[in-house]
Protein backbone atom coordinates (compact mmCIF):
# COMPACT_ATOMS: atom_id res chain seq x y z
CA UNK A 1 0.00 0.00 0.00
CA UNK A 2 1.35 3.45 -0.91
CA UNK A 3 2.50 5.84 1.79
CA UNK A 4 1.26 9.10 0.31
CA UNK A 5 -2.08 10.42 -0.82
CA UNK A 6 -2.03 13.09 -3.50
CA UNK A 7 -4.71 15.68 -2.80
CA UNK A 8 -3.20 18.93 -4.08
CA UNK A 9 -1.16 18.92 -7.29
CA UNK A 10 0.58 22.04 -8.61
CA UNK A 11 2.22 22.37 -12.02
CA UNK A 12 4.56 24.92 -13.54
CA UNK A 13 3.66 24.56 -17.21
CA UNK A 14 6.97 25.39 -18.88
CA UNK A 15 8.39 24.84 -22.35
CA UNK A 16 5.73 26.05 -24.79
CA UNK A 17 8.16 28.37 -26.54
CA UNK A 18 10.97 25.81 -26.76
CA UNK A 19 8.56 23.17 -28.05
CA UNK A 20 7.46 25.50 -30.84
CA UNK A 21 11.01 26.62 -31.67
CA UNK A 22 12.11 22.98 -32.03
CA UNK A 23 9.45 22.63 -34.72
CA UNK A 24 10.29 25.85 -36.52
CA UNK A 25 7.10 27.49 -35.27
CA UNK A 26 6.40 30.74 -33.43
CA UNK A 27 6.10 30.77 -29.65
CA UNK A 28 2.37 31.42 -29.88
CA UNK A 29 1.95 28.08 -31.64
CA UNK A 30 3.40 26.44 -28.56
CA UNK A 31 1.04 28.32 -26.24
CA UNK A 32 -1.93 27.18 -28.30
CA UNK A 33 -0.84 23.55 -28.10
CA UNK A 34 -0.12 23.95 -24.40
CA UNK A 35 -3.69 25.08 -23.76
CA UNK A 36 -4.93 21.77 -25.17
CA UNK A 37 -2.76 19.93 -22.65
CA UNK A 38 -4.32 21.96 -19.83
CA UNK A 39 -7.69 20.53 -20.85
CA UNK A 40 -6.38 16.96 -20.85
CA UNK A 41 -4.63 17.24 -17.48
CA UNK A 42 -7.59 19.01 -15.84
CA UNK A 43 -10.00 16.36 -17.06
CA UNK A 44 -7.68 13.60 -15.83
CA UNK A 45 -7.40 15.19 -12.38
CA UNK A 46 -11.17 15.72 -12.17
CA UNK A 47 -11.66 11.95 -12.43
CA UNK A 48 -8.71 10.94 -10.24
CA UNK A 49 -9.65 9.12 -7.06
CA UNK A 50 -7.69 11.34 -4.62
CA UNK A 51 -6.81 14.65 -6.32
CA UNK A 52 -9.00 17.43 -4.92
CA UNK A 53 -7.12 20.51 -6.12
CA UNK A 54 -5.05 21.35 -9.20
CA UNK A 55 -3.11 24.61 -9.27
CA UNK A 56 -1.64 25.71 -12.60
CA UNK A 57 0.87 28.51 -13.22
CA UNK A 58 -0.57 30.18 -16.30
CA UNK A 59 0.84 33.73 -16.22
CA UNK A 60 3.28 35.11 -13.67
CA UNK A 61 3.69 38.72 -12.58
CA UNK A 62 7.10 38.58 -14.31
CA UNK A 63 5.66 37.46 -17.66
CA UNK A 64 4.80 41.07 -18.54
CA UNK A 65 8.46 41.34 -19.60
CA UNK A 66 7.73 39.20 -22.66
CA UNK A 67 7.23 40.74 -26.14
CA UNK A 68 4.03 42.76 -26.46
CA UNK A 69 2.63 40.68 -29.31
CA UNK A 70 3.13 37.46 -27.33
CA UNK A 71 1.36 38.93 -24.30
CA UNK A 72 -1.55 40.08 -26.46
CA UNK A 73 -1.86 36.58 -27.90
CA UNK A 74 -1.79 35.03 -24.42
CA UNK A 75 -4.59 37.33 -23.28
CA UNK A 76 -6.74 36.40 -26.29
CA UNK A 77 -5.91 32.73 -25.81
CA UNK A 78 -6.97 32.86 -22.17
CA UNK A 79 -10.24 34.62 -23.02
CA UNK A 80 -11.13 32.10 -25.73
CA UNK A 81 -10.00 29.17 -23.63
CA UNK A 82 -12.21 30.11 -20.69
CA UNK A 83 -15.13 30.68 -23.04
CA UNK A 84 -14.71 27.26 -24.64
CA UNK A 85 -13.87 25.40 -21.44
CA UNK A 86 -16.94 26.41 -19.46
CA UNK A 87 -18.89 23.42 -20.75
CA UNK A 88 -16.07 21.04 -19.83
CA UNK A 89 -15.72 22.60 -16.39
CA UNK A 90 -19.38 21.98 -15.65
CA UNK A 91 -19.43 18.56 -17.30
CA UNK A 92 -16.55 17.37 -15.12
CA UNK A 93 -17.63 19.16 -11.95
CA UNK A 94 -14.59 21.47 -11.93
CA UNK A 95 -14.70 24.68 -9.90
CA UNK A 96 -12.53 27.35 -11.51
CA UNK A 97 -10.85 29.84 -9.15
CA UNK A 98 -8.35 32.49 -10.32
CA UNK A 99 -5.48 33.51 -8.05
CA UNK A 100 -3.27 36.55 -8.54
CA UNK A 101 -3.95 40.17 -9.43
CA UNK A 102 -6.32 40.10 -12.39
CA UNK A 103 -6.92 43.87 -12.20
CA UNK A 104 -3.97 44.32 -14.57
CA UNK A 105 -5.94 42.61 -17.35
CA UNK A 106 -8.43 44.27 -19.68
CA UNK A 107 -11.96 44.75 -18.39
CA UNK A 108 -13.21 42.23 -20.97
CA UNK A 109 -10.80 39.56 -19.77
CA UNK A 110 -11.55 40.32 -16.12
CA UNK A 111 -15.24 39.86 -16.85
CA UNK A 112 -14.55 36.52 -18.54
CA UNK A 113 -12.47 35.31 -15.59
CA UNK A 114 -15.02 36.35 -12.97
CA UNK A 115 -17.93 35.07 -15.05
CA UNK A 116 -16.29 31.65 -15.36
CA UNK A 117 -15.65 31.58 -11.64
CA UNK A 118 -19.28 32.46 -10.92
CA UNK A 119 -20.68 29.91 -13.37
CA UNK A 120 -18.63 27.08 -11.87
CA UNK A 121 -18.85 28.01 -8.17
CA UNK A 122 -21.41 25.30 -7.37
CA UNK A 123 -19.36 22.48 -8.89
CA UNK A 124 -18.25 20.07 -6.20
CA UNK A 125 -15.53 18.08 -7.93
CA UNK A 126 -11.99 19.24 -8.59
CA UNK A 127 -10.94 22.79 -7.67
CA UNK A 128 -8.74 24.30 -10.36
CA UNK A 129 -6.73 27.29 -9.21
CA UNK A 130 -5.38 29.16 -12.22
CA UNK A 131 -2.52 31.50 -11.34
CA UNK A 132 -2.91 34.68 -13.40
CA UNK A 133 -0.58 37.65 -12.96
CA UNK A 134 0.55 35.76 -9.89
CA UNK A 135 3.65 36.03 -7.71
CA UNK A 136 4.33 34.03 -4.56
CA UNK A 137 5.97 36.89 -2.67
CA UNK A 138 3.09 39.23 -3.48
CA UNK A 139 0.61 36.61 -2.27
CA UNK A 140 2.37 36.38 1.11
CA UNK A 141 2.50 40.18 1.44
CA UNK A 142 -1.22 40.38 0.62
CA UNK A 143 -1.96 37.71 3.24
CA UNK A 144 -0.06 39.71 5.88
CA UNK A 145 -1.94 42.89 4.96
CA UNK A 146 -5.29 41.07 5.11
CA UNK A 147 -4.36 39.84 8.57
CA UNK A 148 -3.51 43.39 9.67
CA UNK A 149 -6.81 44.66 8.27
CA UNK A 150 -8.56 42.02 10.36
CA UNK A 151 -7.09 43.64 13.47
CA UNK A 152 -4.24 41.20 14.05
CA UNK A 153 -1.31 42.66 15.95
CA UNK A 154 0.74 39.48 16.20
CA UNK A 155 0.51 37.50 12.97
CA UNK A 156 0.77 33.71 13.12
CA UNK A 157 1.35 31.05 10.47
CA UNK A 158 -2.36 30.25 10.57
CA UNK A 159 -3.22 33.91 9.91
CA UNK A 160 -1.10 33.92 6.77
CA UNK A 161 -2.28 30.47 5.67
CA UNK A 162 -5.93 31.41 6.03
CA UNK A 163 -5.47 34.60 4.01
CA UNK A 164 -3.67 33.15 1.01
CA UNK A 165 -5.30 33.21 -2.41
CA UNK A 166 -5.63 29.42 -2.28
CA UNK A 167 -7.55 29.64 1.01
CA UNK A 168 -4.72 27.53 2.37
CA UNK A 169 -4.09 24.08 1.10
CA UNK A 170 -0.58 22.68 1.28
CA UNK A 171 0.80 21.37 -1.99
CA UNK A 172 1.56 17.65 -1.93
CA UNK A 173 3.35 17.50 -5.26
CA UNK A 174 4.82 20.14 -7.57
CA UNK A 175 5.71 19.25 -11.15
CA UNK A 176 7.73 21.51 -13.42
CA UNK A 177 8.06 20.64 -17.08
CA UNK A 178 10.80 21.48 -19.64
CA UNK A 179 13.83 20.62 -17.50
CA UNK A 180 14.14 23.90 -15.61
CA UNK A 181 14.74 23.38 -11.88
CA UNK A 182 13.52 26.43 -10.01
CA UNK A 183 10.30 27.62 -8.33
CA UNK A 184 9.97 30.93 -10.20
CA UNK A 185 8.17 32.72 -7.36
CA UNK A 186 5.36 30.14 -7.34
CA UNK A 187 3.34 29.15 -4.26
CA UNK A 188 6.30 29.81 -1.97
CA UNK A 189 4.35 29.38 1.26
CA UNK A 190 2.34 26.34 0.19
CA UNK A 191 5.39 24.44 -1.10
CA UNK A 192 7.17 24.25 2.27
CA UNK A 193 7.02 20.45 2.48
CA UNK A 194 6.00 19.52 -1.03
CA UNK A 195 7.55 16.78 -3.07
CA UNK A 196 9.03 18.26 -6.25
CA UNK A 197 9.42 16.52 -9.59
CA UNK A 198 11.23 18.01 -12.57
CA UNK A 199 10.67 16.50 -16.01
CA UNK A 200 12.54 17.38 -19.20
CA UNK A 201 9.31 17.04 -21.19
CA UNK A 202 8.10 20.35 -22.61
CA UNK A 203 4.54 21.16 -21.59
CA UNK A 204 2.91 20.58 -25.02
CA UNK A 205 4.29 17.01 -24.94
CA UNK A 206 3.24 16.31 -21.34
CA UNK A 207 0.65 13.54 -21.16
CA UNK A 208 -1.64 11.96 -18.63
CA UNK A 209 0.45 8.80 -18.93
CA UNK A 210 3.56 10.66 -17.76
CA UNK A 211 1.53 12.26 -14.99
CA UNK A 212 0.42 8.81 -13.82
CA UNK A 213 4.05 7.68 -13.72
CA UNK A 214 5.05 10.73 -11.65
CA UNK A 215 2.16 10.14 -9.25
CA UNK A 216 3.29 6.54 -8.73
CA UNK A 217 6.79 7.87 -7.97
CA UNK A 218 5.30 10.35 -5.51
CA UNK A 219 3.43 7.59 -3.67
CA UNK A 220 6.69 5.82 -2.92
CA UNK A 221 8.56 8.83 -1.57
CA UNK A 222 9.27 9.11 2.15
CA UNK A 223 7.72 12.36 3.37
CA UNK A 224 9.20 13.06 6.81
CA UNK A 225 8.17 16.72 7.29
CA UNK A 226 11.45 17.44 9.09
CA UNK A 227 11.31 14.24 11.16
CA UNK A 228 13.35 11.05 10.85
| Three-state DSSP class for residue 56 | strand
CB 84 within 8 A of CB 71: no
Residues 94, 95, 100, CA angle at the centre, nearest 5°? 130
- Given the residues 14, 16, 163, 165, the one annotated as active site: 14
Beta strand pairing status for 127-134 and 8-12?
A: unpaired
Contacts 24+ apart (CB under 8 A), 204-209: 204/15, 204/16, 204/19, 204/20, 204/30, 204/33, 204/34, 204/36, 204/37, 205/15, 205/19, 206/13, 206/37, 206/41, 206/177, 207/37, 207/40, 208/40, 208/41, 208/44
63 is catalytic: yes
Phi, psi dihedral angles at 221 (to 5 degrees): -75, 150
- Given the residues 4, 16, 63, 90, the one annotated as active site: 63
DSSP-derived secondary structure for 78-122 = HHHHHHHHHHHHHHTTPEEEEES-GGGS-HHHHHHHHHHHHHHTT
14 is catalytic: yes
The set of catalytic residues is 14, 63
Amino acid sequence: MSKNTLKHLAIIMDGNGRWAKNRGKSRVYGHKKGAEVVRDITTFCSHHSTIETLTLYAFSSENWKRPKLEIEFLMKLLDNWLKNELENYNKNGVRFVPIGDITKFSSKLQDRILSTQKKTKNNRGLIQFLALNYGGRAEIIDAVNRSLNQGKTVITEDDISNNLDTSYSDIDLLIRTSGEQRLSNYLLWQLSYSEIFFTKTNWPDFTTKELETIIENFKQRDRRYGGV
